[in-house]
Amino acid sequence: MRIIIATIFPDFVKVVKEYGVISQAVKDGKLEIEILNLRDFTQDKHKTVDDYPYGGGPGMVMKPEPFYRLYDYVVEKYGKPFVVMTSPQGERFDNKIAMFLSKKENLLILCGRYEGVDERVMKIVDLELSIGDYVLSGGELAAMVICDAVSRFVPGVVEEESLRQDSFFNNLLDHPHYTRPAIFREMKVPEVLLSGNHEEIELYRLSESLKRTAIKRPDLFLKHEFTEKDKQALIL
């Protein structure tokens, strides 16, 4: 898959592909991340990307032309992408949407800025996404969050087993983790994890996941579809 991010701050966004599993996946050719500078798609000598709002009011509005020129460039180079616009007015981004987006061949994420983006840009947008009910000073951080979470679902980027154990898979939160030492400041690692009994460990972890979810995220717990194994774990 290819993720293309359109921004006026390419140096800020580029760190999304420079660390950890994402950077490894890019090196291994499992994933492509391209960052495009919206200013490169302007036509005036000042590379203007914003202008005063019609009707007055505070702040500036991002002009439509650079977005359309950038979109046309992407269509010509790779074919029609699936287009996401980051915005506090968008649908709330979650793991399910990340999984859906990871199946797209070309995903173009447009970062909004200033007071807003000219409404006519929405004609090329397939999905408007928000990463939460707060206002960021721009869409860059949101685009980076979306890019990272989507990349994890691209085959080969993260081990299948690891994805299955992550929080939100199956509407459950992750179980607790421990590493050496077995006793740290009088706090002991649960005995079962030292037992070597894989079946018991699996059941213990499932039990912890279920308990954590019920306490910390009852909304998720109610959505979870309970299996026979879950019922067994719940009575531990």
> According to CB under 6 A, which one of 57, 59, 132, 176 is a site residue for ligand ADE?
132
User: Rounded to an integer, what distance in angstroms lies between the CA atom of residue 21 and that of residue 163?
Assistant: 13
Q: Are 220 and 173 in contact (CB under 8 A)?
A: yes
Q: Which span sits near ligand ADE by CB under 6 A: 30-38, 43-51, 134-142, 178-186?
A: 134-142
Q: Which is nearer to ligand ADE, 91 or 159 (CB)?
A: 91
Q: Is 142 in the site for ligand ADE (CB under 6 A)?
A: yes
Nearest to 210 by CA among 177, 227, 233: 233
Is 2 among the residues known to form the active site?
Answer: no
* CA dihedral angle for residue 178, residue 182, residue 186, residue 192, rounded to 10 degrees: 70
109 strand-pairing partners: 5, 84
Is 115 among the residues known to form the active site?
Answer: yes
Helix (H) or strand (E) holding 82: strand 82-92
Q: Is 132 annotated as a binding residue?
A: yes
Q: Which is nearer to ligand ADE, 86 or 213 (CB)?
A: 86
Distances (CA, A) of 195 to 165, 191, 203: 20, 7, 13
CB of 93 to ligand ADE, least distance (A): 8
Q: Which span sits near ligand ADE by CB under 6 A: 6-14, 72-80, 124-132, 228-236?
A: 124-132
Which of the residues 52 through 91 are near ligand ADE (CB under 6 A)? 86-88
Q: Are 22 and 146 in contact (CB under 8 A)?
A: no
Q: Is 136 in the site for ligand ADE (CB under 6 A)?
A: yes
Q: Which span sits near ligand ADE by CB under 6 A: 35-43, 100-108, 125-133, 205-213?
A: 125-133
Catalytic residue, candidates 118, 126, 148, 166: 166
User: What residue is closest to ligand ADE based on CB?
Assistant: 142
User: Rounded to an integer, what distance in angstroms lies between the CA atom of residue 15 and that of residue 147?
Assistant: 11
C-beta atoms surrounding 76 within 10 Å: 8
Q: Is 136 annotated as a binding residue?
A: yes
User: Would you say how long the chain is, in residues?
Assistant: 236
Residues comprising the binding site? 112, 131-136
Residues comprising the binding site for S-adenosyl-L-methionine? 112, 131-136
**Residues binding ligand ADE (CB under 6 A):** 86-88, 112, 130-132, 134-136, 139, 142
